[in-house]
């Protein structure tokens, strides 16, 4: 059974009281319980089941401007006391850091709106298996799907409390239902190719129908079969949605408070400067209902609100917690846990329009390796895709993309097909210039 | 040693009974108990940014019938949670018809590391002073150094495995790691360097006056070298890899595809190649989990099987995969001591330990001299692989452009890609300078991280380089 609010609050309050008793001048405690149940199917046969029930505590103690932290899963009063004492002893030994402190009391969350982040319904392992069997039945009915690499259904429920010595005491329950399938495709004497599809929802009833999960994954795997190699050239690139979202990932790493405060981002001097074309707006909204990425407050207990990261192509905000906000002489914007639901406002072009930009181009369907380096601003990764020429596509793999992140940002054109599926959401994106394809 | 039954309502005898009742009508399984402590101290931006002390405590109960696994884990070791776990295992494995319970295990009394607690090797105060000294040492090297991150991570992991019949196996696994990452800035250009040192020997083996400076010097050398680096070329060309950490190529391009679960699932590109020549006859690849003191070494794996030297590829011929107990059983092989897990929160699976290629005959100079146009990789970064297609990739941290047999200029921003089955055929020259890495590898698979070792002699191989210069 998931631990109820009262039990977690009692543990948190106990830890706060003990920390103060052992001479912390302030402290913060997080208590979390996660229970998950997963079943995996492979080639229509159960492969394994997994049940997890973990309660953990994380404590950060301050002695004025000194700070240290501890976390543990061995939870009884005796061990908790030992861990707190050890944490306090460490804290005493540390040097002062003037930016260390709990967040400004005024910014702490008071009342939270119900963002509909918890679904009471549960699904038995038998029902999960039925769902997965349907997924694999549909997938394997595709004549080019030779076997499955595994299909998974996970139900996860969690409850947590965050408390601090400035009277913060808040938390909420979350649920997540996750389904996934990974398929292997093979056509006659071709090599094997694999691809996957997944869905993840707060509410069980919102999950993708199993037949769609199976057929979507099958299409993705089959279109990779019989890839050709491609030559080294400079050519327009289109990133599919599941790849274009990485443009927001690399933006996110490049505008973290730590990289700005510590002067390690290639964008450090670009605050209030044009970094994208004028028609580009990027928003982070933590308060979208029923999204697994939503959060009414961040991991310091600071309330979070909708915010523009980029407006009319200009960098407007970086991602701040209390510590780095102070270093930068700003106030935290409730992003100690990072970004939440981040998205590009959709563009005006249709998906089809993007392909009219040139006689030939490459549609990127998968990448390998880091999608850019936020410190150096360099971009280089391995890629798989489809070569588009004379209105036809053929699969290509084993090539690289290289260039500069700056050029990807500056030469981006967006389609009008935004959908919310990930924590970072981007429409299909065309990069007209700046990327070099490395092949034979 | 931890006494896992000290502060609980569950006695060892009761636990053994539940284990027997649950597992005796299954093929395999065990109760895995973990009590580990980890201390992590990070210096960043000229100050101690964080000290974190973590205690990971819990149990994982596993049952296996034929090819089906049921796993249940909890941070509570008590009667109720073990009984719940047992019920859960029985509900998944209830349909099993015939079973052949096997609890035989290959044990060892060998100890590859001393029973010590690296956390206690120095006081916290001494470790903080050391990190401050490291920071000053690095920053005094150049005023272009803009950021230094240095960390000391020490861990003692106590594990106990209880199988049916009260069979108990245990191990204390110490691990120390010292890491440096730095950033230099010249004009508008940022460069990075990173290096580390670590393993399962005592603290002083990795962090003393002589060796911490070597780690700093190497990280500095990498960052400084890239200050004047030019754009890397793009396209297929000869690549000369330096020895040691470049073994990450072997780990990704070949190692993962030789893990036993991909053999019984028939999803590895090599699943039907055992006994076949998959590379030239100079190539011999080994995974060896019992090298004393190494980061990837273990006295026993996380199923209790002793670790050993496993020859995977011998003179170009594919000999064997790496197995845990399940993949060994399903493919009619013997376990190879490669069943590993990150913690009690995971069931074990076939994983690498220390993976390396044996020496060849060439020198690195010979390789460089033989290249008309290509790159010499001085420091590789991390990589990943697609098991099914065999495609892999790596980030290159530092490289030189080679023209007409000479190193011309440092180049940056390159990724290396290729496919495992192709690249092993394209290894043209192998050096006589095998070296294992310095002890900083961490391998991820299915969400589980485990420490690994790797190594390679210098090699010359044809690969695709992902620079931005056509």
Shared domain for B273 and B346, answered yes or no, is yes
In this predicted structure, the answer to whether residue B76 has a pLDDT above a threshold of 60 is yes
Distance (Å, whole) CA A114 – CA B294 = 51
pLDDT at residue B96 is higher than 60: no
Q: Does the beta-carbon distance from B73 to A72 stay under 8 Å?
A: no
**Residues in A touching B392 (Cβ below 8 Å):** 368, 382
Mark out the alpha helices in A313-431 (DSSP H runs). Answer: 322-327, 351-354, 405-410
Q: Is residue B395 part of a domain?
A: yes
Q: Which domain holds residue B183?
A: 118-160+167-228
**Residue B282 pLDDT > 80:** yes
pLDDT range class, residue B50, cuts 50, 70, 90: confident
pLDDT band at residue B399 under the 50/70/90 scheme: very high
Are B261 and B205 contained in the same domain? no
Kindly report the nearest CA distance between residue A221 and chain B, in angstroms.
Answer: 11
Cα angle A57, A293, A413; round to 5: 145
Q: What is the pLDDT, as a whole number, of residue B188?
A: 85
Share of chain B above pLDDT 90, in %: 84
- A49-85: string of b/e by CB count within 10 Å (b at 16+)? bbbbbbbbbbbbbbbeebbbbbbbbbbeeebbeebbb
pLDDT digits (tens, 9 = 90+) for B176-203: 999 999 999 999 889 999 999 999 999 9
pTM: 0.92
Q: Are residues B331 and B426 in the same domain?
A: yes
Residue B1 confidence (pLDDT): 60
SS3 content of chain A, % helix, strand, coil (to 5): 25, 35, 40
**How many domains does one find in chain B?**
2
* Closest-CA distance of chain B to residue A196, Å: 12
Provide φ and ψ at A366, rounded to 5°. -160, 150
Q: Is B419:B390 a contact under the CB 8 Å cutoff?
A: yes
Domain of B183, CATH number, reads 3.30.2290.10
If asked whether residues B401 and B294 sit together in one domain, one would say yes
| Residues B377 and B312 placed together within one structural domain of the fold | yes
Q: Give the DSSP letter of residue B252.
A: I
Average pLDDT, integer, range B98-122: 90
CB atoms within 10 A of CB A234: 14
Lookup: tokens for B191: 């460069």
Of B79, B29, B86, B58, which is closest to residue B345 (Cα–Cα)? B58
What is the pLDDT at residue B95?
54
Residues B222 and B238 in one domain: no
Domain contains B52: no
- pLDDT at position B469, please? 77
Which chain B residue is nearest to residue A45, measuring alpha carbons?
Answer: B68
- Name beta bridge partners: A250: none
Q: How far apart are alpha carbons A384 and B164 in whole angstroms?
A: 48
Q: How many CB pairs lie under 8 A apart between chains A and B?
A: 242
Residues B288 and B446: beta-carbon distance below 8 Å: no
What confidence score (pLDDT) does residue A25 get?
Answer: 97
- The residues pairing with A159 across neighbouring beta strands, listed in sequence order, are A33, A173
The predicted structure's pLDDT at residue B468: 78
Reference A33, options A4, A12, A76, A10; nearest CA is A4
pLDDT tens digits along A311-353 = 999 999 999 999 999 999 999 999 999 999 999 999 999 999 9
| Average confidence (pLDDT) over B429-457 | 95
- Residues 13..72 of A with a Cβ closer than 8 Å to B: which? 39, 42, 45-56, 67-72
Residues of chain A with Cβ-Cβ distance to B418 below 8 Å are 398
User: What would the pLDDT profile of A57-98 be if each residue is shown by its tens digit?
Assistant: 999 999 999 999 999 998 888 899 999 999 999 999 898 999
Residues of A in contact with B267 (CB under 8 A): 147, 149, 184, 192, 194
In a shared domain, residues B320 and B301: yes
Percent of chain A with pLDDT over 90: 92
DSSP per-residue string spanning B133-198: HHHHHHHTT-TTEEEEEEEEEEEEEEEEEE-GGG-EEEEEEEEEEEEEEEEEEETTEEEEEEEEEE
Mean pLDDT across the stretch B433-443? Answer: 95
Instruction: Identify which of A46, A70, A378 has the shortest CB distance to residue B52.
Output: A70
Indicate if B270 and B299 belong to the same structural domain: yes
Confirm whether B16 is domain-assigned.
Answer: no
The shortest CB-CB distance from A378 to any of B55, B147, B412 is to: B412
Are residue B262 and residue B342 in the same domain, yes or no?
A: yes
DSSP string, A278-294: TT--EEE-TT-TT-TT-
A95 inside 8 A of chain B by CB: yes
**What tokens does B126 get?**
């001494």
Q: Please indicate whether, in this complex, the C-beta atoms of A47 and B393 are within 8 angstroms of each other.
A: no
Give, in order, the Cα–Cα distances in Å from B441 to each of B284, B382, B437, B445.
21, 9, 8, 13
Name the domain boundary from B185, B213, B228.
Answer: B228
Read off the pLDDT of each residue in A183-210 and give the average, rounded to a whole number.
94
Q: Could you tell me if B244 and B198 lie in one domain?
A: no
In this structure, are B411 and B359 located in the same domain?
A: yes
Q: What's the pLDDT tens digit per position in A263-308? A: 999 999 999 999 999 999 999 999 999 999 999 999 999 999 999 9
Domain membership flag for residue B81: no
What residues contact A368, with CB distance under 8 A and at least 6 apart?
A381, A382, A383, A384, B384, B386, B391, B392, B393, B417
pLDDT at residue B413, as a whole number: 78
**B266 and B403 share one domain:** yes
Q: Over the stretch B225-251, which tens digit does the pLDDT of each residue have?
A: 999 999 999 889 999 999 999 999 899
Cβ(A163)–Cβ(A9) below 8 Å: yes
pLDDT one-digit tens code per residue, A16-51: 999 999 999 999 999 999 999 999 999 999 999 999
Is B57 among the domain residues? no
CATH class of the structural domain A5-222: alpha beta
Domain ranges across chain A = 5-222, 233-246+346-438, 268-344
Average pLDDT of the segment spanning A352-356: 91
Give the dihedral of Cα atoms B270, B272, B275, B276; nearest 10 deg.
-70
Q: Are the beta carbons of B466 and A49 separated by less than 8 Å? A: no
């Amino acid at each position: 059974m998931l631990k109820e609010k009262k039990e977690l609050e009692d543990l948190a309050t106990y830890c706060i009281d003990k920390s103060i008793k052992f001479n912390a001048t302030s402290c913060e405690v997080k208590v979390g319980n996660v229970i998950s149940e997963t079943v995996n199917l492979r080639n229509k046969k159960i492969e394994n089941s997994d049940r997890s029930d973990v309660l953990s505590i994380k404590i950060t103690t301050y002695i004025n401007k000194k700070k240290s932290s501890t976390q543990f899963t061995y939870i009884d009063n005796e061990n908790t006391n030992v861990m707190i004492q050890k944490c306090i002893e460490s804290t005493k030994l540390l040097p002062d850091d003037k930016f260390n402190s709990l967040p400004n009391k005024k910014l702490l969350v008071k009342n939270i709106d119900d963002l509909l982040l918890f679904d009471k319904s549960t699904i038995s392992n038998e029902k999960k298996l039925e769902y997965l069997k349907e997924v694999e039945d549909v997938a394997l009915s595709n004549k080019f799907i030779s076997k499955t690499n595994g299909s998974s259904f996970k139900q996860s429920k969690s409850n947590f409390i965050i408390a601090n010595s400035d009277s913060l005491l808040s938390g909420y329950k979350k649920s997540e239902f996750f389904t996934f399938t990974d398929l292997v495709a093979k056509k006659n004497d071709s090599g094997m190719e694999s691809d996957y599809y997944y869905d993840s929802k707060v509410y069980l009833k919102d999950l993708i129908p199993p037949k769609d999960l199976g057929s979507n994954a099958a299409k993705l795997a089959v279109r990779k079969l019989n890839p050709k190699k491609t030559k080294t050239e400079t050519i327009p690139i289109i990133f599919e949605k599941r790849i274009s979202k990485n443009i927001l990932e690399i933006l996110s790493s490049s505008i973290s408070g730590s990289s700005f405060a510590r002067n390690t981002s290639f964008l450090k001097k670009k605050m209030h400067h044009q970094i994208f074309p004028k028609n580009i707006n990027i928003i982070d909204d933590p308060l979208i209902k029923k999204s697994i990425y939503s959060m009414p407050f961040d991991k310091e207990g600071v309330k979070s609100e909708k915010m523009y990261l980029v407006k009319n192509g200009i960098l407007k905000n970086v991602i701040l917690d209390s510590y780095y906000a102070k270093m930068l002489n700003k106030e935290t914007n409730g992003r100690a846990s990072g970004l939440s639901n981040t998205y590009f406002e959709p563009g005006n072009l249709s998906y089809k329009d993007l392909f009219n930009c040139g006689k030939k181009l490459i549609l990127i369907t998968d990448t390998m390796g880091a999608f850019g380096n936020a410190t150096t601003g360099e971009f280089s990764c391995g890629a798989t895709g489809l070569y588009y020429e004379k209105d036809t596509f053929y699969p290509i793999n084993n090539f690289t993309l290289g260039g500069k992140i700056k050029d990807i940002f500056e030469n981006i054109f967006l389609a009008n097909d935004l959908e919310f599926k990930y924590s970072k959401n981007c429409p299909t994106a065309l990069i007209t210039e700046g990327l070099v394809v490395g092949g034979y | 040693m931890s006494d896992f039954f000290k502060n609980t309502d569950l006695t060892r005898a009761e636990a053994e009974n539940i284990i027997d009742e649950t597992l005796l009508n299954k093929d395999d399984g065990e109760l895995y108990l973990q009590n580990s402590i980890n201390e992590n101290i990070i210096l960043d931006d000229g100050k101690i940014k964080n000290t974190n002390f973590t205690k990971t405590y819990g149990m994982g109960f596993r049952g296996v019938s034929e090819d089906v696994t049921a796993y249940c884990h909890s941070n509570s070791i008590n009667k109720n949670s073990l009984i719940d776990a047992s019920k859960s295992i029985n509900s998944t494995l209830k349909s099993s018809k015939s079973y052949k319970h096997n609890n035989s295990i290959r044990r060892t009394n060998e100890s590859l590391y001393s029973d010590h607690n690296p956390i206690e090797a120095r006081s916290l105060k001494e470790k903080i002073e050391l990190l401050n000294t490291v920071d000053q040492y690095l920053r005094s090297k150049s005023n272009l150094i803009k950021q230094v991150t240095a960390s000391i991570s020490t861990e003692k992991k106590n594990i106990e495995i209880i199988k049916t019949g009260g069979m108990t196996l245990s191990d204390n696994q110490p691990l120390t790691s010292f890491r440096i990452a730095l950033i230099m800035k010249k004009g508008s250009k940022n460069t990075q360097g990173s290096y580390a040192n670590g393993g399962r020997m005592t603290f002083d083996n990795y962090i003393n006056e002589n060796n911490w400076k070597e780690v700093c010097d190497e990280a500095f050398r990498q960052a400084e070298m890239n200050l004047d680096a030019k754009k890397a070329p793009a396209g297929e060309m000869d690549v000369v890899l330096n020895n040691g950490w470049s073994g990450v190529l072997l780990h990704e391009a070949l190692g993962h595809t030789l893990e036993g679960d991909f053999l019984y699932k028939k999803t590895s590109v090599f699943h039907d190649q055992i006994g076949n020549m998959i590379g030239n006859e100079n190539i011999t690849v080994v995974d060896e989990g019992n090298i004393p003191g190494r980061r990837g070494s273990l006295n026993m794996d996380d199923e209790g099987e002793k670790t050993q030297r496993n020859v995977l590829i011998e003179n170009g011929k594919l000999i064997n995969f790496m197995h845990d107990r399940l993949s060994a059983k399903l493919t009619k092989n013997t376990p190879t001591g490669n069943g590993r897990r990150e913690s009690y929160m995971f069931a074990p699976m076939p994983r690498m330990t220390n993976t390396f290629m044996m020496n060849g005959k060439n020198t690195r100079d010979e390789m460089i001299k033989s290249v008309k146009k290509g790159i010499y990789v001085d420091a590789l970064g991390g990589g990943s692989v697609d098991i099914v297609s065999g495609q892999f990739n790596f980030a290159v941290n530092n490289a030189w452009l080679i023209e007409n047999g000479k190193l011309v200029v440092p180049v940056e921003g390159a990724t290396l890609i290729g496919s495992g089955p192709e690249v092993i055929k394209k290894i043209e020259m192998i050096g006589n300078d095998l070296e294992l890495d310095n002890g900083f590898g961490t391998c991820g698979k299915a969400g589980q991280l485990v420490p690994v070792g790797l190594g390679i002699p210098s090699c010359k191989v044809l690969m695709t380089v992902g620079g931005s210069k056509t």
